[in-house]
Chains A and B, each alone.
Chain A
């Protein structure tokens, strides 16, 4: 079976791989909406959606558990969005109105190409990251493409030709620009470090890479410093990145873009049915990719624990010689971490109230940006001293 797959032309393999990743990511993104509802319910001491079930499935024993989790509610909602009448209001700019949700989904699903989502051990015991494109620009590509998603919101707000969507999209552009700066500055220490004094046994030819897989490689070295996750090494960077991530993905408490209390549904106000749901899938896919990047940079990627790498883990449990098993375990560990992050996102959402718009701007420009610059300077000096 494997031989057949590897005999296929490269472009078919890449196509199949890309499709497979999307087919996993899209449903997870959709399932996050149900997770959000359930977590909201649990925080508010209620059970959440737990009734819906297809009558033809109700006889299966044990299916009540899935029903209680609201899985069929999710399917019903999804089906509703697909089959509902897709109304386009008369006062909108039709071309951009229809283009906006498509443009929202494209960057959300594109960024995953350069984000590794697992690793396996090959026959030689080498850890090979599982990703669609292991390119050197790595994180830069993630930043570049994911910042395109703001165009979708701006387009949606503009094309809707109505006040609240427009206000929302103006807020979105201001907010995303503000927090991108601190976000980018907060990850620079990580890459200074991976290209700096403690780069260990990595060959010099790999220097100057922004690949996310390499960052995880750095967190899986031997020794105290080698095995330490960057989240512990650079807590301030991790914190700034996390806060900026909340702002970039328009999550509470930085939910000013879609603050339904003052902007109805903001850029989604004029949308309905499938187009509306595309915005939400895109938002959750952004969260997924953002959480994945956070976990790769600061959370050790696919390593189960600090100082315990995937290879150590596989050797310990004795399945290191099975590439398929190590691959599944690697993806499982990484996915578990990402979903834990998503849970944290939702947990925060149902805990904190929304910042006012001026507070968002003040935090971004007057607090986070100076902090990230100071953080960068401190690490630059520290790394320079270590290199000497």
Chain B
């Protein structure tokens, strides 16, 4: 590596009095004083959330309003802090989405345990669980901090994708090719 010798100049008289430095420092702080604050006034102003942010995990519907979760429980198994508890349930045969066979009867994420690692989202074969933009959770009791299924769907909303995997599978089955 090349060595660049830097000449150390002795301080000039003006520099030794420290006054030009003080004046330039005062100028800098004055500039900041008249500038607008760069902070956000938090509860009213919210920060812009970057894409790919890992906030509170949520459950989503597909555009037809079907719960995407099929209660396979992979997320429950992968969850490092064991924050997720799923009670699987069958979809009754008279339901329009009966061909999906299963959906969670209850889905609980304990936000006091959740570490926002995103493994549940990564492991989900149905793209049903998403870590979205909400970053602030608070509550007065431990129970309040457990998000149940209803709350998870409220937080999650609808995912605007158009896979319709289960509908395609049903259509294929009806057309006669059971396994594709």
- The residues of A with any CB-CB pair to B shorter than 8 Å are 39, 41-47, 50, 347-348, 350-352
Q: Within 8 Å CB of B32, what residues of A?
A: 42-45
B residues less than 8 Å from A46 (CB atoms): 37-39
Contacts of A351 in B (CB 8 A): 22, 25-26, 28-29
A46 — nearest CB in chain B belongs to which residue?
A: B39
B22 touches A47 (CB 8 A): no
Given contacts A41-B37, A46-B38, A347-B26, 20 further A-B contacts (CB under 8 A): A39-B33, A42-B32, A43-B29, A43-B33, A44-B32, A45-B35, A45-B36, A45-B37, A45-B38, A45-B39, A47-B37, A47-B41, A347-B30, A348-B22, A348-B26, A350-B29, A351-B28, A351-B29, A352-B22, A352-B25
- Specify which chain B residues have a CB less than 8 angstroms from the CB of A43 in the assembled complex: 29, 32-33
What is the distance, in angstroms, from B47's C-beta to the closest C-beta of chain A? 15
Chain B interface main SS type: helix
Instruction: Please give, as numbers and ranges, the residues of chain A lying within 8 Å of B25 by CB-CB distance.
Output: 351-352
Number of chain B residues whose Cβ lies closer than 8 Å to a Cβ of chain A: 14
Q: Is the CB of A42 within 8 A of B39?
A: no
* 14 sampled A-B residue pairs with Cβ under 8 A: A39-B33, A45-B35, A45-B36, A46-B39, A47-B41, A50-B41, A347-B26, A347-B29, A347-B33, A348-B22, A351-B25, A351-B26, A351-B29, A352-B25
Contacts of B37 in A (CB 8 A): 41-42, 45-47
Query: A residues within 8 A CB of B30?
Result: 347
CA distance A50 to B30 in the complex (A): 21
Tell me the smallest distance from the CB of B151 to a CB of chain A, in Å.
30
Q: Within the assembled complex, what's the spacing in Å between the Cα atoms of A201 and B79?
A: 92
B38 to chain A, nearest CB (A): 5
In this complex, the member of B25, B36, B38 whose beta carbon has the largest number of chain A beta carbons within 10 angstroms is B25
Q: Which 10 pairs show the lowest CB-CB distances between chains A and B?
A: A351-B29, A46-B39, A42-B33, A45-B38, A351-B25, A47-B37, A43-B29, A46-B37, A351-B26, A43-B32
Task: Determine the residue in chain A with the shortest Cβ distance to B26.
Answer: A351
Q: Chain B residues near A42: list those with CB within 8 A.
A: 32-33, 37
Query: Which residues of the partner chain A approach B28 to less than 8 Å between Cβ atoms?
Result: 351
Q: How far is the CA of A39 from the CA of B33 in the complex (A)?
A: 7
- Nearest-neighbour CB distance to chain B for A107, whole angstroms, equals 29
A350 to B28, CA, bound (A): 11
CA distance A196 to B108 in the complex (A): 89
Cα distance A43–B36 when bound, in Å?
10
In the assembled complex, the Cα of A352 lies from the Cα of B37 at a distance in Å of 21
**Would you give the 0/1 interface string for B1-44, flagging 1 where the beta carbon is closer than 8 Å to chain A?**
00000000000000000000010011011101101111101000
Distance between Cα atoms of A44 and B39 in the complex (Å): 10
B111 to chain A, nearest CB (A): 27
Cα of A292 to Cα of B41 in the assembled complex, Å: 37
Complex Cα gap A42–B28 (Å): 12
Q: In the assembled complex, how far is the CB of residue B145 from the closest CB belonging to chain A, in whole angstroms? A: 26
